[in-house]
Chain A
Amino acid sequence: MVLEIIGARLLATSFGGAFYVWVSQIGVIMLALAIGYYVGGRLADRFASPSLIGYLLLLAGCFTALIPNFATSLANMIVDRHPIGKDIPLIWQKLDPAFGSAMIFLLPCIVLGMVCPYMIRLATSRISEVGKVSGLIYAASTIGSIVGVFVSGYVLIDRMPISRIFRLAGIMTMILGLMCILGGHLRHTLEDNT
């Protein structure tokens, strides 16, 4: 959600203050989460170890931290492909921001979406607990999203450059990834010992 709020701000320098920037940002993030939930669930069944999601998170974190380095020029490229001297057709005024946010936010947000089903798979050992565990994980993830929205919209934007917010979000994702990898190794060694 931090990526969603701050991202809309980032896109506005290239795509303008249009309403469509918000529409596309929200739409693209939801799409990414849907893909992430689906793929994450499948992967979790096949590789029930936190290592894989750990590496993916590490990658997504790197990507997020680098967003300020490439996002603006990428978004400008999308706008600048229209012939100069002619007005941009309304349909592209609407769709361009969606392409822009897809190219920038789709990948990291898919990976972040994979975390939830993965955690449900790893945290449940008995079928009788699935309801409780998945409810807990969904609640925790949604509370995290709420905090992300308010903290970035009310506090971060007024106090921190956008680039630093991306770096921080990226670093936090990487730390989460490292923790998963570490957890995976620990589990392996524990399993080997028993």
Chain B
Amino acid sequence: MKRLGPILVLLGILSYSSAIQASQTVFQTTSAYHNIKVVDEDGMRYLYFDNTTESRMSLDNPLEGHFEYIEYFHMPWLLGQEIRTVVMLGLGGGSIQKAVEHYYPDVNIITVELDPKVVDVAKEYFHVRPSARHRIVIEDGRIFLRRSQQRFDLIIIDAYTANRYGSYIPYTLVTKEFFELVKQRLNPGGIMAYNVIGSIYGGSEDIVTVMYKTIKTTFKQVYLFPASTSRNVVLIAVDTDEPVDTTQLAKKAESLMAGKDRSYPGLLTRLKNLRTGAPLGTSRARILTDDFAPIDGLLKAE
């Protein structure tokens, strides 16, 4: 037994050093907006902006390994009518784009990303492939929508970045005027899906509550999908009179999953997180406008 001690120590050192090797920086660059880093660790590939994780992908299968909140972006296929055209503001590692391309073969996507280096990294390291079905535009999201003459079925917004002090969201993408623009660019019955980092129990000062109230000024129905494993809340807005019927949604999910040869498998599980009510403190929350959007004070670090 005496000899076992040093062997254990040796094993410890070995496993420790192999753990270091398992985490490997594949690529690093600095753009006008972020320090961008691609790191491989334990079979997963991570995208970092300024040392916070933006995206995750399995190295074996580019469709796997994404964060939980990404899956709530499938909900518009349950809530709305047929979806043919999707605009996505913010690229990151392209998790949503890859899923939409895979599960909905007749959908066309336009991705709008501000940072050209993020586009390069997504193409090179995250299997994002521009094609006839997926066009990538390098532009500010709000300018793209303002200049566009088209109408779309679904507009997804995931233009967040985060740093150690908390989240950062461009203030031009959270105001009443912006949501009116989104509505103008949607087909009747079209859907907006928005990733927000915050809490539905955060009260009137939480960014989720403030955004819920602001979106409510423009869209009649706003649904919340708080993620179970992170502070992400996906807000889904539709401008229809009838609120959604939860039992009917479950039925639609089942029929979707049974009917199609390729459909997203987690629909029913994720549907359980649906919240139809307003977040805590909504009545006291303020509405954000272009003129007054004090969001820098609202985004708290965890």
Name A residues whose Cβ lies closer than 8 Å to a Cβ of B.
Answer: 9, 12-19, 68, 72, 76, 79-80, 82, 84-85, 87-88, 90, 93, 157-163
Query: What are 22 A-B pairs with beta-carbon distances under 8 A?
Result: A9-B171, A12-B171, A13-B172, A14-B143, A16-B139, A18-B114, A79-B143, A79-B146, A79-B147, A84-B148, A87-B137, A87-B138, A88-B139, A88-B143, A88-B147, A90-B138, A157-B296, A158-B297, A160-B292, A161-B289, A161-B292, A162-B292
Question: Given the complex, which residues of A lie within 8 Å of B27, measured CB to CB?
Answer: none
Interchain nearest-CB distance for A148 vs B (Å): 18
Question: Given the complex, which residues of B lie within 8 Å of A76, measured CB to CB?
Answer: 146
Closest 3 CB pairs of A and B: A16-B140, A17-B170, A161-B292
Knowing A159-B294, A160-B292, A162-B291, say if A16 contacts B114 (CB, 8 Å): yes
Docked-complex contact A17 and B291, CB < 8 angstroms? no
CA distance A128 to B285 in the complex (A): 61
Contact of A17 among B114, B175, B177, B296 (CB under 8 A): B114
Contact of B17 with A by CB under 8 A: no
SS class, residues of chain A in contact with chain B = helix
Interchain nearest-CB distance for A32 vs B (Å): 24
Docked-complex contact A161 and B170, CB < 8 angstroms? no
Contact of B16 with A by CB under 8 A: no
CA distance A68 to B147 in the complex (A): 22
Question: Given the complex, which residues of B lie within 8 Å of A162, measured CB to CB?
Answer: 290-292
Contact of B32 among A13, A19, A88, A161 (CB under 8 A): A19
With a 10 A CB-CB cut-off, give which of B33, B138, B292 has the most chain A CB atoms. Answer: B292
Docked-complex contact A16 and B171, CB < 8 angstroms? no
Contact of B139 among A68, A87, A159, A163 (CB under 8 A): A87
Question: Given the complex, which residues of B lie within 8 Å of A79, measured CB to CB?
Answer: 143, 146-147
Name B residues whose Cβ lies closer than 8 Å to a Cβ of A.
Answer: 32-33, 114, 137-143, 146-149, 170-173, 175, 177, 289-292, 294, 296-297
Docked-complex contact B140 and A15, CB < 8 angstroms? yes
Interchain nearest-CB distance for B26 vs A (Å): 25
Docked-complex contact A16 and B296, CB < 8 angstroms? no
Docked-complex contact A15 and B143, CB < 8 angstroms? yes
Docked-complex contact B172 and A16, CB < 8 angstroms? yes
8 new A-B contacts at CB < 8 Å, known A9-B171, A87-B139, A160-B292: A12-B171, A14-B143, A17-B140, A17-B171, A19-B33, A158-B294, A161-B291, A161-B292
Contact of B140 among A18, A68, A163 (CB under 8 A): A18
Question: Given the complex, which residues of A lie within 8 Å of B173, measured CB to CB?
Answer: 17
Contact of A16 among B143, B175, B289, B291 (CB under 8 A): B143
Interchain nearest-CB distance for A82 vs B (Å): 7
CA distance A14 to B145 in the complex (A): 11
Question: Given the complex, which residues of A lie within 8 Å of B148, measured CB to CB?
Answer: 84
Residue of A nearest to B292 (CB): A161
Question: Given the complex, which residues of B lie within 8 Å of A160, measured CB to CB?
Answer: 292
Question: Given the complex, which residues of B lie within 8 Å of A72, measured CB to CB?
Answer: 290
Knowing A18-B114, A80-B147, A157-B294, say if A13 contacts B140 (CB, 8 Å): no
CA distance A75 to B292 in the complex (A): 18
Question: Given the complex, which residues of A lie within 8 Å of B175, measured CB to CB?
Answer: 13
Interchain nearest-CB distance for A76 vs B (Å): 8
Interchain nearest-CB distance for A41 vs B (Å): 36
Docked-complex contact A13 and B177, CB < 8 angstroms? yes
Interchain nearest-CB distance for B143 vs A (Å): 5
Residue of B nearest to A86 (CB): B147
CA distance A9 to B288 in the complex (A): 14
Docked-complex contact A93 and B139, CB < 8 angstroms? yes
Question: Given the complex, which residues of A lie within 8 Å of B296, measured CB to CB?
Answer: 157-158
Interchain nearest-CB distance for A107 vs B (Å): 22
Interchain nearest-CB distance for B205 vs A (Å): 12
CA distance A82 to B149 in the complex (A): 13
Contact of B149 among A68, A85, A88, A157 (CB under 8 A): A85
Question: Given the complex, which residues of B lie within 8 Å of A163, measured CB to CB?
Answer: 291
Question: Given the complex, which residues of A lie within 8 Å of B32, measured CB to CB?
Answer: 19
Docked-complex contact A13 and B170, CB < 8 angstroms? no
Knowing A79-B147, A84-B149, A87-B137, say if A17 contacts B172 (CB, 8 Å): yes
